[in-house]
Every structure is written in C-alpha cells, then in structure tokens.
Amino acid sequence: MALEHAILVSLLEKPGSGYELARRFDRSIGYFWAATHQQIYRILKRMENDGWVEPREVAQQSRPDKKEYSVAAPGRAALAQWLHEPIEPESVRHELAVKIRGAAFDDPAALLHEVERHRRAHADRLAHYRAGELRDFTGPDAPAPDVGRELQHVVLRGGIAYEQMTLAWLDDVIATLHRLGAEKR
Amino acid sequence: MALEHAILVSLLEKPGSGYELARRFDRSIGYFWAATHQQIYRILKRMENDGWVEPREVAQQSRPDKKEYSVAAPGRAALAQWLHEPIEPESVRHELAVKIRGAAFDDPAALLHEVERHRRAHADRLAHYRAGELRDFTGPDAPAPDVGRELQHVVLRGGIAYEQMTLAWLDDVIATLHRLGAEKR
DNA sequence: GTAACCATGTAACCGGTTACATGATTAC
DNA sequence: GTAATCATGTAACCGGTTACATGGTTAC
C-alpha cells in the first residue's frame, strides 16, 4: 500500500487541502499512482487521527474554507520507514494485452479502433508530459534545480519513456492487426 | 474487471484446471494480469455457476484428480461482448516512482540498493521473455504461426519493450542518484 | 525425512470504485 | 439559468491480498 505514502510525499513537496491533493493526483504524482478524492479524504482523515498530518483551517474569500494539511513528525517517520523497506518489483496490469490475445477468438480487425483510440490517448499524454518537462525542468523559465526537482524530473523522464515505448508498441499492434486482416482476405 | 476475461482467454487457448491456470498466471498471461490461485478458484466457481465454463473430471495416475475447465457458449459470448466494449487507457501504478520522489525528504543515496535490486529483477524478466520468444516464436523449433500465435507474439513484444524501457530508465535513475550523492560531498 | 510439486479450497480484511449528497462562487 | 470550479464528505460494493487448511506424490 502506497497511497498514504504518496500523499505524504505530495504534502511534503507542498502542503494542501484534500481537494488540492485530488487535483495533484490528476496530474503529476497521479501519473504514477492514481487516486480519487474519496480515497484521499478517507486516508487524510485516518492519517490525521494517527497524528501523521496536521490540518490548518484556512479561511478564503469568495471560496469555501479549506483544511490545509501538512506532515507532522510521526508522518515523516512513517514515510522514512517505508522508504527503507524493500518493495516487490511490480507486475504490469495491462487490460489491452488481454483483449489482444482474446481477439484471436473474435475478429482481430474489430480491435483496431480500440487500439487506435488508446494510441491517441497515449500520444496526448506524451505531449502533456513533454510540455510539463519544458515548463518545469528544461525550458528557459524553469526554476533552479535542486535535489527534489532532480528526482521529480527523473520520474517524469520515466513517464515520457513509458509513453514513447507504448506508442511504438501500439504501432506494432496496429500493423500486426492490419497484417492479420489482410492475410485473411 | 478483466480477470474473468483473462481466464476465459486462457481457457480458450487451452482448457485446464484451476491449478494449471494459476501456473499460467505465473507465466505468460500473468505477465500482463497477475492473479493468485485463490482468486482463480473463486472466479472459476462463479463462472461455473453462471454456465460460462464447464468442468470435466479428469482422473490422473500418481497425481490428484483435477477438474479441467473449458469455455461454454455463454462464456464465449460474454468474452465477445467485453471485447467490443471500450476500456480506459490505463494509468500506471508505479510504487518505485513514489519512493524516488519521497527520497528527496530522506537520503537519496539510500535508495540505490533498492533501485539496483529492481534493475536486476527487470533484467531477469527481460531475459526470460527473450528466451520465451525464441522458444515459441522466432527460434527454429517454434510452432507454425497462426492468428492466435501472432497475437500472443505481439503481446510478448510489448512485454519485451516494457522491460527494455524500464531497464534504461532505471539506469537513468541510478545515474541521477549517483550524481546527487556526489554533489552533496 | 523433507522439500518441491500437484491440487483445491475457506475466511478475514482492506483498498479501490462507484454512486450519492451538499453547497457556495464565478464566468458565459 | 447553467455549466464549471472549489470544497468535503458518506455508503455500498467488489476485487485483491493474506493467512489458514488439507492431503497426496515424487525426487533427493
């Protein structure tokens, strides 16, 4: 389980409310660990009870008040402990791969649209990552690098590499499906 | 949810018992969709109740008897329906990425061993995939290709591409952690 | 004798998903 | 007025993980 740790990391990078965390999980850190606001509020409450995070009421003008959380010492300690525990190299969970193998028992060509849709989604994500890289790390207006930024950047490079690889593979899948369709004729 | 569909695909490729399925999920199809034997038995039972699969008692010598399942018409129909439903391009869930960003609030160099351990695991998996590719698809003793095999092969190529990409990225991570450690001195 | 493999399950727990719920403000 | 954004939750369900349980066979 790493969602609580992901939240701790995000709050250490910058304190914020549950809502703000949910938005971050739609962006940066959420690219590698997805979470909905329901999950986040639940875990935030548990971590507050355990003394891992501390809320601060922030009154806002022309917006609802919010609870801004920051990490307390026990939360930092819990994160440090987790960082020193080994984790299992994870196995991928690739639903599309199951579909592709399943297509052998249906019509392979019928999968083309689905695969092409996935290709577009991954191309969009890659463009998005690259724009973020330029804005935050390699562009002329990027902030000065430090340890935290370097580590964020290497994680983002991982996301970019993943999307590039996925695009190339989906092209391979599309070509294979075309070929199988052509052979049948 | 795709585990039941993954099981259907696996049973269509070759009928088998729950135990055999569990072994396959430790190999081929499980590279893209992990499952334990407990899960498999539970879903197998449910699918049997729903008439999606049919068991056949097989007596074995010098081994316990087994129930060999094969896919019945309703199961095939359920699979076909799922194949035609669009699925969301999935987001990765990368615990190591959370750790890397978290290392900014701990000692980045302390992560090196963990990252190197993951690197070795992925190198092993890549070697394993490549051996399987040679054995089943590209080697001189590989069976003759057909639609099913072509699709299995393109999925395996995806696994190989994923592991290659991951290895290159982990090298990037290792170099970055070294650099950050050197700068601090 | 003991470890590895074959074979099938039950039970408890926990995390993730989906649906429901509320209410204010801002921009069109 | 209506859609989008900000803000925080509850509840039900379901799937996945972990622990427990049993019992036979084969190879060292």
> What is the C-alpha separation between B110 and B91, in angstroms, rounded?
28
Give chain D positions with protein CB within 7 A.
Answer: 6-11, 14-20, 23-26
Residue B185: the pLDDT is: 57
Q: What are the residue ranges of CATH 1.10.10.10 in chain A?
A: 3-84
pTM score: 0.94
Q: What integer best gives the mean pLDDT of chain A? A: 93
Residue type, A158: G
Model pLDDT for residues A119-138, shown as the tens digit of each residue: 999 999 999 999 999 999 99
Give the span between the Cα atoms of A32 and B93, in whole angstroms: 5
Which CATH code, of 3.30.70.260, 3.40.30.10, 1.10.10.10, 3.40.50.2300, is assigned to B3-84?
1.10.10.10
Confidence at residue B132, expressed as pLDDT on a 0 to 100 scale: 93
Under an 8 A CB cutoff, do A89 and B121 touch? yes
In the stretch 32-61 of chain B, residues with CB closer than 8 A to chain A read 32-34
* Residue A12 vs residue A89, higher pLDDT: A12
Closest nt to residue A16, judged CA to C1':
D7
Cβ contact, residue pair A152, B101, below 8 Å: yes
Query: Are B98 and A13 within 8 A, CB to CB?
Result: no
